[in-house]
Chains A and B, each alone.
Chain A
Amino acid sequence: MTTQITSARPAAGPRKGSRRRPPASSATTVGRPGFAWALPAAVFFALFAITPLIMVAVLSFMSWDGLSSPEFVGMDNWSRLMDDPVMVKSIWLTLLLTVLGVVVQTPLSIVLGVWAAGYQRNRAVLSVIYFIPLLLSATAVSVLWRALLDPNFGIPADAAWLFGDGNLFGEQATAIGVLAFVSTWQFTPFHTLIYQGAARAVPHVLYQAAEIDGAGRYRQFFHITLPQLRNAMITSMILMIVGGLTTFETVLILTQGGPGTDTTISAYYMYDKAFKSFDYGTGSAIALVLVVAATIISLIVVRVSGYDKMRSSMEGVS
């Protein structure tokens, strides 16, 4: 592939000869790629992700059922959404599930990731099993757990001391619990992987020094491992937040937003409005709320953590 690409773009000068050429005058631009390198990806992305997003924004000011032609209705969709108790509820539910996801999955995947970062053979074998949920589609995961949690023929029937009458999907608290659990089951492996990688990258010297100082395992964990995992934590949390805001298939298959509207999170409500009620305008407005919320939260996390500064600080070194 390498040769294909190079031959596709004729080199600026004789390749062999360029090796000995002295550096150009401006030190900062030498050997730095221009934005043209980023252009193909940017154009492609703009075409297939940004364009539809702009169309969504326009649609949110229109009334459209997919049959007649769309009509501009100004702020109608938006003002109706503001007064819609289900919309307000769905935002709270979305936040709740997202926070639950972060709070449960972060410690779990840190512990598992650090553990799996060890080099013993049994860990390697176990790790392979741990990560299997990652390979299943959300559809498959949800179908599987729905069967397992059946009140009469699944696990709850055999463990009444834990599940009571097994009405997991019939009450808000338990239905939310199930959703949070299934997301955890499905996504913890991915985040574990992130932490495992980061934990392996922690320099051994730090631990050796700590042991000489007589620091115990837990002190080592809290004073060396955790601080070293900071960047991994940021990446993982952004992904969790965005994932939480856009959870969809799990709700669609496990609860359909029910009982009533008790698990109707915003992403599902959008789908409900657009594809069940054929109110594409309102659906688009909800979609836009979601995109904006996810963007703001990601930006906050990025700013607070200084993730976007990382580049410039590294550049400063060079």
Chain B
Amino acid sequence: MKTRARLPRLVACGATLALALTLTACGDGDGGASADDGKIHVLVYGDATNKVEKQLVDTFNKTSDVKVVLDTIPGADYQKKLQTIISTPQAPDVFFNWGGGSIKPFVKAGLLMPLDDFIKKDPGLESNFLPSVFNNAVVDGKPYGIPMRGTQPVLLFHNKAVLDKAGVQPPKTWDELLDAVGKLKDEGVTPIALGGGDVWPTQMWFQYLFDRIAGPELFAKAVGGDKSAWESADSKKALNMIRELVDAGAFGKNYDSVKYTNGGSVQLVASGKAGFELMGSWYYSQQLTDHKEFAEKDLGYTAFPTVAGGKGDPGNVAGNTNNYYSVMKKTKHPEAVAEFLKLMYSDEFVKAQLDIGNLPTTTNTDKFIETTGNAEYSRFQYDLVADAPSFQLSWDQAYPQKASSDLHKAIQQFFNGQLDTDGFVKAMQALPTE
């Protein structure tokens, strides 16, 4: 048998390799983040837009004596991994986050550096950003984050051809939306595509309806610890409207099996099998990559419809306010970190972000918008955000991270009918708020 002769050699090779590699692996202990090596470690959410962060790090390292090292963690695990390493020596000096609830536990644990001192030395670190965005990283009255990357408001996208065929105009009010749902159903298409399998797309409907009906105060109260907010009449009204929309068949029947993240819901809209999709502003570039022809010709977008009699300002938006860099108290190079953060409102940063389709929230963004590839779309978003009286941060990011799993369960279960209104209210009241 051939294997007889081969195997011992295979085994021997393996063992020798193992020994050799064990030795070399022990020798080079420089991999990754270590406690202090005279460098600043910046930890960022790993995705396609990392190239801008890399570019800025290179720019910074050209002139600075203290070098910045960029570390990334793939998106889905970013938050988990961050929380695992943040209180160990492997913690970075500066890290990416979503502001709001995502940094609150770290502030409470005394890990973060308040940025007042940086701002005192360079007021530009505050004044160069849109206030509604900057304020989302203020915890207990102190700023803990400098905006980076861009803002991502949630918009209502539609397939123009499908809407035309059904004789529907992009809806400006809730009633028009309900009307459109009926007409699209008659045409045999799913009125609204929804990636319910991911749950966070479902959450967007809650965010907007609660904001339109009760204004941002209700959610702010609830997340601040006043759990009675969920029992209020406005809360129940919003829930009833969601129920009504689902029961009208607006999302079809199999939305919980559809995902946004595997391209399912995107394709539904592009192929004309669905009319609308509520999604973050990144949707446009997603459609452009996946369905270029459709995106250029038939993809339309509007702000979320207004709701008659609602207390919320119709100009309010919801979504990912922005991303932020926060600074660890333990950093050995605060001056260098401050210099690095100043790059976040530089012209170079703004241009690079706009080039990859992100929309930075600096005050100088305005003057560069017209130079971008899709100025009309960028302009629409920028004006929407700049004019918004309130920007509702995504619920799962406004709550502390530890609440997000139960929050998602409650949202999915209410939406598909497993929980009734009271059940949902109870589930939301059980969420930890700090």
Binding site for B on A (CB under 8 A): 1-2, 4, 65-68, 146-147, 149-153, 165-171, 256, 258-261, 272, 275-279
Chain B contacts with A in 389-422, Cβ cutoff 8 A = 401-406, 409, 412-413, 416, 418-419
Which stretch (B27-35, B37-45, B81-89, B209-217) binds chain A?
Answer: B81-89
Binding site for A on B (CB under 8 A): 8, 11-12, 15-16, 80, 83-84, 86-87, 105-106, 108-109, 111, 196-197, 199, 252-259, 262, 264, 267-268, 273, 401-406, 409, 412-413, 416, 418-419
Separation in Å of the B348 CB from the closest CB of chain A? 35
Residues of chain B lying within 8 A (CB to CB) of residue A151: 254, 257-258, 264
Separation in Å of the B40 CB from the closest CB of chain A? 22
**Option from A169, A276, A278 in Cβ contact (under 8 Å) with B257:** A169
The total of Cβ contacts below 8 Å across the A-B interface reads 101
| Contact yes or no, A278 B258, CB < 8 A | no
Residues of chain B lying within 8 A (CB to CB) of residue A149: 257
| Contact yes or no, A260 B418, CB < 8 A | yes
Closest to A157 in B: B273
Pairs of residues from A and B, 9 with the lowest C-beta to C-beta distance, nearest first: A170-B256, A167-B254, A169-B257, A67-B109, A276-B405, A1-B12, A260-B413, A151-B254, A277-B402
| Contact yes or no, A147 B262, CB < 8 A | yes
Closest to A252 in B: B76
Residues of chain B lying within 8 A (CB to CB) of residue A169: 197, 256-257
Separation in Å of the B259 CB from the closest CB of chain A? 7
Residues of chain A lying within 8 A (CB to CB) of residue B268: 152
15 A-B pairs with C-beta separation under 8 A: A1-B16, A4-B15, A65-B105, A67-B108, A149-B257, A151-B254, A152-B254, A153-B267, A168-B257, A169-B197, A170-B196, A170-B255, A258-B412, A259-B418, A275-B80
| Contact yes or no, A153 B264, CB < 8 A | yes
| Contact yes or no, B409 A260, CB < 8 A | yes
| Contact yes or no, A260 B412, CB < 8 A | yes
Knowing A1-B11, A68-B109, say if A152 contacts B264 (CB, 8 Å): yes
Residues of chain B lying within 8 A (CB to CB) of residue A1: 8, 11-12, 15-16
Knowing A259-B418, A278-B83, say if A170 contacts B257 (CB, 8 Å): yes
Closest to A277 in B: B402
| Contact yes or no, B412 A67, CB < 8 A | no
Residues of chain B lying within 8 A (CB to CB) of residue A165: 252-254
Residues of chain B lying within 8 A (CB to CB) of residue A150: 257-259, 262, 264
| Contact yes or no, A166 B257, CB < 8 A | yes
Residues of chain B lying within 8 A (CB to CB) of residue A68: 109
| Contact yes or no, B409 A261, CB < 8 A | yes
Residues of chain B lying within 8 A (CB to CB) of residue A170: 196, 253-257, 416
Bound CA span A277–B399, Å: 11
Closest to B82 in A: A66
**Option from B8, B111, B256, B404 in Cβ contact (under 8 Å) with A167:** B256
| Contact yes or no, B106 A67, CB < 8 A | yes
Separation in Å of the B367 CB from the closest CB of chain A? 42
Given A260-B412, A276-B404, 16 new contacts (CB under 8 A): A65-B105, A66-B84, A146-B259, A147-B262, A150-B258, A151-B257, A151-B264, A152-B258, A166-B257, A168-B254, A170-B256, A256-B199, A258-B256, A259-B418, A276-B405, A277-B405
**Option from B11, B255, B406, B418 in Cβ contact (under 8 Å) with A277:** B406
Bound CA span A277–B80, Å: 9
Bound CA span A275–B425, Å: 25
Bound CA span A153–B268, Å: 9
Bound CA span A277–B408, Å: 12
Bound CA span A278–B108, Å: 15
Closest to B196 in A: A170
Interface centre among A150, A170, A260, A272, by most B CB within 10 Å? A260
Residues of chain A lying within 8 A (CB to CB) of residue B196: 170
Bound CA span A16–B225, Å: 82
| Contact yes or no, A258 B197, CB < 8 A | yes
Separation in Å of the A300 CB from the closest CB of chain B? 33
| Contact yes or no, B402 A259, CB < 8 A | no
Residues of chain A lying within 8 A (CB to CB) of residue B404: 276
| Contact yes or no, B254 A166, CB < 8 A | yes
Bound CA span A272–B407, Å: 12
Separation in Å of the A16 CB from the closest CB of chain B? 23
Separation in Å of the A270 CB from the closest CB of chain B? 12
Separation in Å of the A313 CB from the closest CB of chain B? 30
Bound CA span A258–B259, Å: 13
Closest to B410 in A: A260
Bound CA span A239–B268, Å: 41
Knowing A2-B8, A150-B264, A152-B268, say if A272 contacts B258 (CB, 8 Å): no
